[in-house]
Amino acid sequence: MSPGERAKLTRVEAWPVKMRLAEPYVIAYESVEEATNVFLRLETDAGVVGCGCAGPDEDVCGETAEDVLTATREVLEPVLRGNHALRAGPLLEELAAALAGRPAALAMADMALRDIAGKVSGLPLYRMLGGEAEGAEGMVTSVTVGILPEEETVRCARRWLERGFSCLKLKGGLDREADAARALKVREAAGEDVELRFDANGGYTVEETLAFARQVAPARLEFIEQPTPRDRPELLAEVAAELELAVMADELLMSPGDARAIASTRGADMLNVKLMKVGGIARAMEIDEVACSAGMPVMIGCMDEAALAIAAGLHLALARPNIRYADLDGHFDLEGDPSDGAVILEDGRLRPTGKPGLGFDVSGE
């Protein structure tokens, strides 16, 4: 009997890991010094183990690490244990119905089930999802510079560039004038060849966004991400209609339904899909299909996530041609990440390990 025929789930284990950030950062709505991720192991009667990771963000999704652990006890274990691991489609549908409002817990389960499928097939996850062998070359990722004083912003940008990165994302949203000055200074310091992006995390009004775009025109931003408040999608649509600069939706995009609403009103030019806020790979693929049909490019983004969760986002991006951008830097500064090594970073490019499934195992022991 093959491992696939004997892939009945026999054990569901989850545990939290609190990790400090080597360099705390500030964005428009919070300051971050540490992150707690929850790791999941699913064991089968064939000895195949699937791993997943949740990086919940209470401010964005209303979900905490404790919520994820509770969901594991009350939902994941009763649904998954005793079921066949390769029935991922029906299992994820059942979990999605029971995990409304807990997208990181759903994403964690999605990852672990797909990890098992990849290991049973002997293929890296991006190949399982339809990606080409060339995906092993990986994908360029941006790296984020938080809200800092102007001189410190430039120093931080230079440090990342010296480490081989070619794409920077600046955070802002608290002070439009200071944000514009920082963007212009970073462009001056970085030169012409570096891609520069800006994320206001919902901190601007429409008028402030339009004024900011005029001020930073010489900085040649690639796009501006979620400049207006998440609870006012009509404001983002107004900005998108006014600006030549591409406008990306982030915080207001939480589901395939949100993607359809944005596409139908042309409420943004681009979408930032994060597994933790949309509920995992299955829902992310639904969103990408909507975006692709509407001619909207997608960026795969992240929260403060351990490398295992980053690997899941990377595998998805490598399998979907419409996912043209990556902002997968949430693991860079996490100290004590038990999944360190789940992705390989070289000169600002992330690559998968090349092993089956997600390509990395974690243990709670």
| Residue showing tokens 């351990």 | 306
Amino acid at 124: P
* CA 323 from centroid of its chain's CA atoms: 12
Q: How far is CA 257 from CA 261, 267, 287, 345, in A?
A: 6, 13, 8, 34
CA angle 7/10/14 to nearest 5° reads 115
Which one from 63, 274, 286, 333 is the annotated catalytic residue? Answer: 274
Amino acid at 359: G
How far is the C-alpha of 16 from the C-alpha of 235, rounded, in Å? 38
H/E run at residue 234: helix 233-242
Strand partners for 300: 273, 326
Backbone angles phi, psi at 42, to 5 degrees: -110, 125
Query: How do beta strands 31-44 and 9-26 pair?
Result: antiparallel
Q: How many CA atoms lie within 13 A of 195 on its CB side?
A: 18
Residue 72 DSSP class: I
How far is the C-alpha of 16 from the C-alpha of 13, rounded, in Å? 11
Which one from 67, 110, 225, 258 is the annotated catalytic residue? Answer: 225
Which one from 57, 110, 169, 171 is the annotated catalytic residue? Answer: 171
How far is the C-alpha of 76 from the C-alpha of 105, rounded, in Å? 9
SS3 262: helix
Which one from 67, 115, 208, 250 is the annotated catalytic residue? Answer: 250
274 is catalytic: yes
225 is catalytic: yes
Which one from 43, 199, 251, 286 is the annotated catalytic residue? Answer: 199
Q: How far is CA 273 from CA 230, 270, 276, 279, 287, in A?
A: 14, 10, 9, 10, 8
| Residue showing tokens 């949100």 | 258
337 is catalytic: no
175 is catalytic: no
- For the annotated catalytic residues, the residue numbers are 171, 199, 225, 250, 274
